[in-house]
Structure 1
Amino acid sequence: MGVGGNFWDLLKPYARAEGFDFLRNKRVAVDLSFWIVQHENAIKAHALKPHLRLTFFRTINLFSKFGAFPVFVVDGTPSLLKSQARITRFYRSSGIELSSLPVADGVPVERNPVFSRYVQECVELLELLGIPVLNAKGEAEALCSQLNSEGHVDACITADSDAFLFGAKCIIKSFCPNSKEPFECYNMSDIEAGLGLKRKHFIAISLLIGNDHDLKGVQGIGLDTALRFVKSFSEEDVLNRLHEIGNGKFSPFPTSIKSADNCADMDGNSSSRKQLHCSFCGHPGSKRDHMKFSCGYCITDDDEGCIRKPEGFTCACLSCDMVRKQKGQKRLEDWYTKICHKIAEEPKFPRDEIIEMYLCNDNGCFPASDGPCISWGRPKIEFLIDFLNFHLRWGPFYTRRQIFPMMSTIFLRDVANNPVENLLLEKYEFDSIKRVKVRYGYQFYVINWKCVVGNVICTIPPHESGMQQEDEVELDEFVDLLDDSDIPEVNAGDGCSFLLTDENMELVKAAFPAEVERFLQEQEMKELKKRKNSTPRSQVIEHSSSSSSRNIQLNITEFFRSTKMQNRSKQEEQSKNSDILDGGTTKGKREASSPNLSKSVRRRLLFN
């Protein structure tokens, strides 16, 4: 979807792999239709209403796990051009002749009613979660791009490549599951630096190769040709040049187009005549002049004449180089003229309504002067429980357990901004930091939330837990980081009940700095104790040998090691005593029994 001709492959080298904290405290616009379409077919047979389930888990994880502030955008009424393109795409996929293609005469084709119902249900869910939802006049990616270009959001989540044509600055195309860098991010600044193309260049490319509003583009022009063609014009001039060429007014050949053979002589003093060359060596001059003496290009020691030119020889003299440049320039001019003729043959090219749509900055259903009203509220838990019970058959305890990570994130943010005594969900208080957890290379604090009122919400009755168990098992292989839910663990001790959640370390430090300082001091004390208690290996061996003298039972490793050392010491003492008594005879025999001597010699030395 978006620009045709594998446009994403052109931008792939300039993608960045961003980590967990990339969206922390950032506002991000999400194309809701992209999420629904992306996974509707993937898990359709494995879950009840997957569009609601995925929207629920993805929103919570985007908000709590990655720390983002999502803003969802919903498609509006499609334009007439988009409606006609949809009909064309449907006929092509169905194998129906395009000659029988109906024409949308001033009436846009409405969206699929089933899909529209899915979108509306997701909107109701998001509003209950307290997430802002904006309605676009036309395409959702157009409003996402406008919000990004005007600074209302920091990034867009969409797979439509024409978001760059609408003015987006930062696009997150996909998520990489189970990765240290889960976000595949495209920045317009990186693309401009790498390709040398800007927004209007991309619009010109989409007009040439096709887009969601004009599928065919210009016949005979692909992505590589369009890229090379638009690079010859500046951003301010490229669309005007396309209008002139489309009207049959061919502009002069742009000198900015370069070939592999370089451009023509910049001084304009090139000669169209090629200098006479020797047919034997291939260098300037006649063959008769090169018969007796070698030319300046063929220098030999014995001066026997020129050297025969090898196969595939190319002369590098100024005359030949100039001729090659002129031929390359002529090929470029012919190529440019050919492209201009193809563009001129296309009727109604370029279509002004497509250009105006891409350059429009009024894509939302709100006053352009006032701007969008974006605010995040608190989840309406009781209404949310009834909604999910009706659509997904989730019990109240299960819903409260799944919503808990989002509520804990909101609680920590509130405490960081306004440190007052309060309870999470009017039931839990911050107790302590249990440990540091490493997940995909990133560290989190595992927080103990102490239940001070009633029972833990995660105590799920059997009939409710069994309701979801089958879905969770089947869905494990389909979900990624955004779809996977972080269910709080339950812990009990000292007559109290606790819930354990993974929280961002910086957020916890901002909300409870004293608790973090206390935890770090405890960790330092534990490390010091470990260092004191740890002893070198040599000390362990000495301790084991001394313990045997005190009639302390040894393990099998220490026993054999100690007896081996004792036997070795006894042998050394006996050898010293024998050396003293024999006056060095034993030492001589030992030296005589060196393995460097033969066996017979060693036998004679031993018995003599």
Structure 2
Amino acid sequence: MGVGGNFWDLLKPYGHKEGFDFLRNKRVAVDLSFWIVQHENAIKTHVRKPHLRLTFFRTINLFSKFGAFPVFVVDGKPSPLKSQARTARYFRSSGIELASLPVPEEGASAERNSLFSTYVQECVELVQLLGMPVLKARGEAEALCAQLNSEGHVDACLTADSDAFLFGAKCIIKCFCPNSKEPFECYNMSDIEAGLGLKRRHLIAISLLVGNDHDMNGVRGIGLDTALHFVKAFSEDDILNRLCEIGKGNASQFQINIKSEDNIEMDGNSPHKKQLHCSFCGHPGSKRDHMKFSCGYCAKKDDDEGCLRKPEDFKCDCFSCGMNRRQKEQKRLENWHTKICQKIAEEPNFPKDEIIDMYLCNDNGYFSANDGPHTVWGKPNIEMLIDFLNFHQHWDPSYIRRMMFPMMSTIFLRDMASTPAESLLFGQYEFDSLERVKMRYGYQFYVVKWKRAGGNIAFKVPSKESGTQDVAVELDETVNLLDDCDVPEIHQDDECSFLLTDENMDLVGAAFPAEVKRFWQEQELKDLKKRKNSASKSQENESPASSSARSIQLNITEFYTSTKVKHQPKQEESSKNNDSGDSNMKRNESSSSNLPKSVRRRLLFD
């Protein structure tokens, strides 16, 4: 949830889309609980243990498809306030009166339900078998993600909890857009500061006023827009102290500088008397003076006509009227500010110091500031991973190896780029060649052919009847791009089987520069041959033989138009040479043509 009051809608104009390679070679802190609950309802009726399936494919795709280095973060012990707010949210969604909400004992902390804890533990075991680092937070997972981001240990946070900004996050990836050239919806704190003029402590103040995960109610009668305009009147260093003073009822001890629309500071206590204005034209001066001669504001060619009558929506622009309007606006803002302060002062125990301390805390993980977190990306433990997924998901070992192939090929290419050595992928496959260049999501990829050393490829895809195939189901539309499976294609060529995978062009170029150079040389030769063939065909079309053929065709066409006239004498000559039987038949036909149409039709069908 994060901050209440549709806080994401406030930040929406300052979010932006990033391209497919935005996370390549970057470290990303992933809120694992967010992954588990995000799309569980979308596919839980279709597949077995959806939390494991989603975590498995998302980790592989995040690592291989997007080229990121994920760091998974799990929740620690929730605070008593968070537990109480979670219980209140459940009561509210169930339609139960909040008055019947049990009051927890001091120091008590309600843990998550045992089923969800089991889901988290299974996913942690899965990502560890995949070789990904896992960190446990002292409290909230998004708090540790934000700390890792603010201290530079990771480049972005992958979470939908908006209070990660309150914990100090600099860049948040809220969601992914399926089938898009710019799949990442990102929010940077620098853009929010530039657009809204709000910094971290301002956001904390807004969350205290409108509600958050630890206090759902906030201050009654204060919404997001009101809280936004209220906190803008204070500096970042002053806002939280002022809230504490207002909450204690000390709002009258200080005055807030409210600026007018033209940025001129006004003193509400300065004496000022409004100048006399004409009731006819509305300008400074008396009506009697304006009856004979027009005032300077209504000056005309003929002064004898007097002033002009003021329109219905007239507003005088003189200094006196402008000053009076600004004083009224200042008074209105002061009254509005006083009402907000009264609402805050009426709220009991506002603000809660433990919430402020929790948001400002920079010790959310089990590591020291000097040593930093232990984040090492290792290689997957294939055999144990096969046993784990076979037990929990009932997947066939060959199917698991095939799904793991894009991740293993990415690791293999990275190893070859850093420390070239003769080794085999999976201990069985070797790099064969580059098949072609493929456009995918608006980006170019190499299609790499992998050949099995010493035999053909024999991957078994589990059948649906055996009960082990649950990845071919049609998922809900809300399932994002991370959940799409990149299944390697099996290619048969001259009694040899190959696996085809889509790989990043820069990664392949760093791992096999000679192969890439050879591939592009072959492409240039092919393009050269195509250009030569097209040029030769165009020359053949323009050769004399082709021109004579066209002239012959043209003569035939021209001749064909005159054959009707020239053919008639030949027909007459041939008719003269016919025998008498034929001439008699023609005479009969010519004589029958003189018969009526009805008679000829009857003779034809009889």
TM-score by length of 2: 0.88
1:483 aligns with 2:473: no
The one-letter amino acid of 2:494's match is: D
Residue pair 1:277, 1:283 contacting (<8 A) in 2 also: yes
How far residue 334 of structure 1 moved from its aligned partner, in angstroms, is 0.9
Residue pair 1:271, 1:322 contacting (<8 A) in 2 also: no
Residue pair 1:154, 1:170 contacting (<8 A) in 2 also: yes
| Residues 448, 163 of structure 1: alpha-carbon distance in 2 compared, 3 angstrom cutoff | same
Counterpart of 2:159?
Answer: 158
Counterpart-to-counterpart distance in 1, 2:200 and 2:409? 41
Counterpart-to-counterpart distance in 2, 1:470 and 1:374? 32
Matched ranges for 1:347-358 at <5 A: 347-358=348-359
SS of residue matched to 2:298:
coil
Counterpart of 1:258?
Answer: 259
Structure 1 unmatched ranges of 5 or more: 551-558, 572-608
Greater mean alpha carbon deviation, residues 119-128 or residues 401-410: 119-128
Counterpart of 1:563?
Answer: 553
Residue pair 2:46, 2:470 contacting (<8 A) in 1 also: no
Matched ranges for 1:309-458 at <5 A: 309-458=310-459
Residue pair 2:276, 2:285 contacting (<8 A) in 1 also: yes
The one-letter amino acid of 1:379's match is: P
SS of residue matched to 1:333:
helix
1:98 aligns with 2:63: no
Counterpart-to-counterpart distance in 1, 2:311 and 2:554? 80
TM-score by length of 1: 0.87
The one-letter amino acid of 1:375's match is: V
What's the CA shift string for 1:456-510, capped at 9, x where partnerless? Answer: 152x167589655564043385643210111111112233221100000000011
Residue pair 1:131, 1:377 contacting (<8 A) in 2 also: yes
Counterpart of 1:588?
Answer: none
Counterpart of 2:204?
Answer: 203
Counterpart-to-counterpart distance in 1, 2:481 and 2:55? 13
The one-letter amino acid of 2:553's match is: T
The one-letter amino acid of 2:256's match is: P
What's the CA shift string for 1:221-266, capped at 9, x where partnerless? Answer: 11111111111111111111111111111143322x4354755547
Counterpart-to-counterpart distance in 1, 2:277 and 2:299? 17
Greater mean alpha carbon deviation, residues 478-487 or residues 130-139: 478-487
How far residue 102 of structure 1 moved from its aligned partner, in angstroms, is 0.6
| Residues 3, 536 of structure 1: alpha-carbon distance in 2 compared, 3 angstrom cutoff | farther
Residue pair 1:36, 1:51 contacting (<8 A) in 2 also: yes
How far residue 539 of structure 1 moved from its aligned partner, in angstroms, is 5.2
How far residue 272 of structure 1 moved from its aligned partner, in angstroms, is 2.3
Counterpart of 1:223?
Answer: 224
Counterpart of 1:39?
Answer: 39
Greater mean alpha carbon deviation, residues 502-511 or residues 100-109: 100-109
Counterpart-to-counterpart distance in 1, 2:387 and 2:239? 56
Greater mean alpha carbon deviation, residues 363-372 or residues 295-304: 363-372
| Residues 567, 352 of structure 1: alpha-carbon distance in 2 compared, 3 angstrom cutoff | same
What's the CA shift string for 1:105-140, capped at 9, x where partnerless? Answer: 121112011111111111111111111111111111
Residue pair 1:395, 1:464 contacting (<8 A) in 2 also: no
Counterpart-to-counterpart distance in 1, 2:290 and 2:555? 93
Structure 2 unmatched ranges of 5 or more: 562-606
Matched ranges for 1:443-592 at <5 A: 443-458=444-459, 460=460, 463=463, 467=467, 471-475=471-475, 479-535=479-535, 542-543=542-543, 546-547=545-546, 563-564=553-554, 567=557
Residue pair 1:156, 1:172 contacting (<8 A) in 2 also: yes
What's the CA shift string for 1:375-403, capped at 9, x where partnerless? Answer: 11111111111111111110011000000
SS of residue matched to 1:165:
coil
SS of residue matched to 2:502:
strand
SS of residue matched to 1:482:
helix
SS of residue matched to 2:357:
helix
Counterpart-to-counterpart distance in 1, 2:96 and 2:477? 37
Residue pair 2:172, 2:187 contacting (<8 A) in 1 also: yes
How many pairs does the alignment contain?
559
How far residue 546 of structure 1 moved from its aligned partner, in angstroms, is 2.5
Counterpart of 2:68?
Answer: 68
What's the CA shift string for 1:316-367, capped at 9, x where partnerless? Answer: 1111001001101111111111111111111111111001101111111334
Counterpart of 1:553?
Answer: none
Counterpart-to-counterpart distance in 1, 2:48 and 2:478? 14
Counterpart-to-counterpart distance in 2, 1:89 and 1:333? 36
How far residue 535 of structure 1 moved from its aligned partner, in angstroms, is 3.9
Which structure has the larger Rg over C-alpha atoms?
2
